[in-house]
């Protein structure tokens, strides 16, 4: 029984570490997206300030209006794809955090169960001395 509880605690601990590594991977992706957004600020790329869709045709005098509009559409598509990717990453991160919380709860329950079984085992091993049980119970609670 004790070995089974230890095995389940070990499995929960392993899943806990796996979820942490997945969350770290998601954070890495988010950092990459943030770096990309910093390197290529959201703008039309045509002379307006970041976030602006103002078109300054003088910044690219050799461009035709069609080329300029195509460039603008390409930038908007890139921004849309990055936004969708970021939303997907955030959603996965939130799901992983919920799963991690569930795993932490399971791990804590298994740990408490293991401590209770160890206390019961010690109680029976020591001949059922009530002072030992009280002492062990107070250790578990603290």
For the whole model, what pTM was predicted?
A: 0.39
Arithmetic mean of pLDDT, 22-39: 68
**Confidence (pLDDT) at 55:** 46
Contacting residues for 79 by C-beta, under 8 A, at least 6 apart: 42
CB 103 within 8 A of CB 9: no
* Mean pLDDT value across the chain: 71
Q: Quickly state the pLDDT bin for 19 (edges 50, 70, 90).
A: confident
**Confidence (pLDDT) at 1:** 59
Query: What distance in Å separates the CA atoms of residue 89 and residue 122, rounded to the nearest whole number?
Result: 48
**Confidence (pLDDT) at 2:** 67
Q: Quickly state the pLDDT bin for 59 (edges 50, 70, 90).
A: low
Arithmetic mean of pLDDT, 105-127: 79
Q: Give per-residue pLDDT as tens, 35-54.
A: 666 655 544 444 444 444 44
DSSP 40: S
**Confidence (pLDDT) at 11:** 78
Arithmetic mean of pLDDT, 70-79: 80
**Confidence (pLDDT) at 53:** 44
For the chain, the farthest-separated pair of C-alpha atoms sits apart, in whole angstroms, at 94
């Amino acid at each position: 029984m004790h070995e089974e509880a230890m095995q389940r605690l070990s499995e929960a601990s392993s899943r806990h570490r796996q979820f942490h590594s997945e969350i770290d991977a998601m954070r890495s992706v988010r950092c990459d997206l943030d770096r990309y957004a910093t390197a290529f600020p959201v703008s039309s790329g045509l002379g307006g300030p970041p976030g602006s869709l103002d078109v300054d045709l003088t910044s690219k005098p050799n461009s035709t209006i069609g080329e300029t509009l195509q460039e603008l559409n390409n930038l908007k598509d890139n921004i849309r794809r990055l936004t969708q990717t970021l939303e997907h990453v955030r959603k996965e991160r939130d799901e992983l955090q919920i799963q991690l919380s569930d795993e932490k709860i399971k791990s804590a329950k298994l740990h408490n169960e293991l401590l209770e079984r160890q206390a019961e085992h010690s109680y029976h091993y020591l001949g059922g001395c009530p002072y030992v049980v009280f002492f062990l119970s107070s250790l578990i609670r603290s």
